[in-house]
Amino acid sequence: MLSFRAHCALLNAGAQIDTLKYMSSSNEVEIKFRVSSLDALTERLRALGFEQITPRTHEMNTLFDLPGQPLRKRGELLRLRKYGNSWVLTHKSKSAAEEGAHKIRIETETRIEDGAKMEAILGALQFHPSFRYEKFRAEWKGGEGHVVIDETPIGNFAEIEGPAEWIDATARDLGVDPKDYMKENYAALFFSWKRETGSKAGEMTFDAVESS
């Protein structure tokens, strides 16, 4: 069982927290871009020698925060993800590295044996779901990084993750112009989509978007 105490410390009973403390972390460097044709992107990845390491798999993500959303205000994220039958707990925070065309975050994550129990632990510590987003994801490996293809309720996207120079080279090979790079997370993309469409959906799930 994961020892959450090793990862998180609460400042006081009012649930004001300091930055989450982790044993290890690494910089995540990535960009997103919109995908007009899933088939064309898949064919191009194969032509470039990428290997599909996970098939198209359902993914449900829940973001957690404390009352008053202190994590969001600090630009941090605490996420519980179910990918197929696997559970992963992830924390992301701003990196000290200078951010230019690429999104850079400090990311620490660990596999969870029981997602329901992890959610119960978070609830006991006054962390509650603040946003949910759903997608189908396929992962590809090539060279120094990964490309993932996401089918979401608000459109199809891909992410390129790896060293900055490799990201740019891969983007060029895929025909992605730097002006089309996106650094927003899915919550930001969803609320931007809501403003553009007038949708009343409260979360980025297929049922919520289709019924709004």
Beta strands in the chain (DSSP E): 26-34, 51-65, 77-83, 86-94, 103-112, 128-142, 145-152, 155-161
Q: Are the C-beta atoms of residues 73 and 164 closer than 8 Å to each other? A: no
| Ranges under pLDDT 70 in the chain | 1-25
* Contacting residues for 96 by C-beta, under 8 A, at least 6 apart: none
CATH of 4-10+25-211, one of 3.40.47.10, 3.60.20.10, 2.60.40.10, 2.40.320.10: 2.40.320.10
The angle formed by the CA atoms of residues 87, 182 and 72, to the nearest 5 degrees, is 55
Looking only at the bridges linking them, the beta strands covering 155-161 and 77-83 are unpaired
Q: Give the integer Cα–Cα distance in Å for 135 and 148.
A: 12
Q: Give the integer Cα–Cα distance in Å for 95 and 167.
A: 18
Tell me, what's the pLDDT at 98?
Answer: 73
Tell me, what's the pLDDT at 99?
Answer: 79
Tell me, what's the pLDDT at 26?
Answer: 82
Cβ atoms within 10 Å, residue 99? 13
156: left (phi over 0), alpha (psi -120 to 50) or beta: beta
Tell me, what's the pLDDT at 25?
Answer: 66
Tell me, what's the pLDDT at 10?
Answer: 36
